C-alpha cells in the first residue's frame, strides 16, 4: 500500500506497508480470477481501518476480475467477493 503526497511542492508516492499471507490448501486450487478476488477481499478486510472512507485505486492486470464486477454470477466464491467489495465501491477505482 502506498499513498500520494505532496512533499516540498512535488507530488510523490510514499510506501505505507506491505502485507501478504500464504494460501490455504483449499485456496491453492482456486483459478486465477478467484485467487485475485481472494487477494482483494483479504486486503480490504485487513486494511479496513486505513481504507474506510478513503478514496483509493486498485491496480490489477486481471481483466477477468474487472469484467466480473459488471457480471451476474452464481459462483459462491465470486458472490462473496462482490459482496465484500460493494462496501468500498463508491471510493474504489479498479485500474
Domain boundaries, given as residue ranges, for the chain: 26-94
Helical axes 76-86 vs 32-46, angle rounded to 10°: 30
Please give the Cα distance from 75 to 58 (Å, whole number). Answer: 23
pLDDT along the chain (95 residues), means of 10: 77 84 91 84 86 80 72 75 78 69
User: What cell does 46 get?
Assistant: 485487513
User: What cell does 39 get?
Assistant: 487477494
Amino acid at each position: 500500500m502506498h499513498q500520494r503526497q505532496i512533499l516540498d511542492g512535488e507530488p510523490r508516492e510514499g510506501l505505507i506497508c506491505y502485507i501478504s499471507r500464504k494460501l490455504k490448501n483449499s485456496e491453492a486450487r482456486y483459478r486465477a480470477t478467484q485467487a485475485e478476488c481472494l487477494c482483494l477481499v483479504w486486503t480490504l478486510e485487513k486494511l479496513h481501518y486505513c481504507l474506510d472512507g478513503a478514496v483509493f485505486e486498485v491496480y490489477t492486470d486481471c481483466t477477468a476480475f474487472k469484467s466480473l464486477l459488471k457480471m451476474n454470477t452464481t459462483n459462491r466464491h465470486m458472490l462473496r467477493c462482490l459482496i465484500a467489495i460493494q462496501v468500498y465501491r463508491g471510493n474504489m477505482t479498479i485500474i
